[in-house]
Amino acid sequence: MKIVHLVDDNKPGGVLVMVNRLKSLAFQDSTHSITFVKRGSFLAQKIDADLIISHLAMSWRNLPFLISLRNRHASVKLIHIEHTYCTGFEIHNVKHTKRFRNMLRISYSLFNSIIAVSNAQSEWMENASLVAPDRLIVVPNCVDLKKFEQVAQSPKKTDKISIAAIGRFHRQKGFDLLIQGFLATKNPNLELKLVGYGPDEKSLKKLAEKDSRIIFEAFSETPQDIYKEATFVAVPSRWEAFGLVAQEARAAGCVVLSSGIDGLKEQSVSTELVAEATSEGWTALLEKLPNMQRTQLIKRGRQQTVLEEIRFLMRWAELFKDDRASSFQKKRLRNVLSLVG
């Protein structure tokens, strides 16, 4: 089974992490390859594949390419995974809602199936009538958790209350709200480490420059090393279709602090949420950290990641029609449950 993934963003992050995760599953003796597509391309090349999975950004500009893709692969199953658009995105970025939703309806109609990466995203798609219910599939994201689970067994190396925030330095991630909230705290034992890259790096460093408790580090290809030292991981996003950082952090035995929007609210079983996604809301939550009882939150968080992984494997096994996944799931479940009790 030849599976080709179409990607238009080759920067490190969620999309490539998910593509590599799917490649590693090797369901149905499948072979996976990645084809990079330049945004705004007009014509799609002919692709030798049994299944084409799109991770592309939907836009009016990309619509001619999608039409060409469909026409050139009339007998090939096309699936699109929506990594970006959700309620929060629409609220913060879309001025002309009707026009935006029409673009999505047309784009989605060219695929056999649309995959939503969270229930919250699926509900938004259904409420907005973006895709017919019989073509909408919910498959919440899940990374390979093994390396993060190993971190959870390691004792924390810092005496401080260490808060990590990992991701792209972009307005979406809400790091400005987190920094402003942190600046209003007075506890000298609090430490905030921001790890990443992006267009807002200069302005974020300017905002934080007078507080020596705030540290910036470059993007790391081994985030498990960051989680090993962190007591808490903050995910202050303004919008987030799913939120892989929150999942990684839970698997690594960290307590997650979250804005609780979009797909993040589905991870709230083991997450401390801000009362409101403002700098004041973050200040209030951060000041509670010294007295927070973390043991049960950590245990629930690690158990939750086990269930998320099993659900992820089951859904993709169904899509790839591979019965061997069942025995793999059971073995994986036994192994991971033995770690978390």
pLDDT at residue number 339: 47
Q: Rounded to 10 degrees, what is the CA torsion of 97, 171, 227, 283?
A: -100
- Assigned fold of 146-301: Rossmann fold (3.40.50)
List residues bridging with 54 in a β-sheet.
Answer: 6, 80
Pairing of strands 190-197, 214-218: parallel
pLDDT at residue number 175: 98
Per-10-residue mean pLDDT, the chain, length 341: 89 76 72 90 93 95 96 95 96 97 97 96 97 93 86 70 95 97 95 95 96 93 88 95 92 91 83 89 95 86 85 81 53 53 48
pLDDT at residue number 149: 87
Q: What is the DSSP string of 234-303?
A: EE--S--SS-HHHHHHHHTTPEEEE---GGGGGGGGGEEEPSSSSHHHHHHHHTTGGG---HHHHHHHHH
Same fold yes or no, 2-139 and 146-301? yes
Long-range CB pairs of 285-294, under 8 A, 24+ apart, other chains included = 285/181, 285/257, 286/163, 286/181, 286/182, 286/185, 286/190, 286/257, 287/185, 287/187, 289/161, 289/163, 289/190, 289/231, 289/232, 290/161, 290/187, 290/189, 292/255, 294/231, 294/255
pTM: 0.88
Q: Is 29 left (phi over 0), alpha (psi -120 to 50) or beta?
A: left
Tokens at residue 327, please? 């025995």
Q: Domain 2-139 belongs to what architecture?
A: 3-Layer(aba) Sandwich (3.40)
Of residues 109, 101, 105, the one with CA closest to residue 78 = 109
Long-range CB pairs of 273-277, under 8 A, 24+ apart, other chains included = 274/236, 277/174, 277/177, 277/236, 277/238
| Residues 6 or more apart in contact with residue 30 via CB below 8 angstroms | 1, 2, 3, 320
Tokens at residue 31, please? 């072979």
User: How is the chain split into domains, by residue range?
Assistant: 2-139, 146-301
Alpha-carbon distance values, 142 to 54, 184, 244, 293 (Å): 17, 35, 7, 27
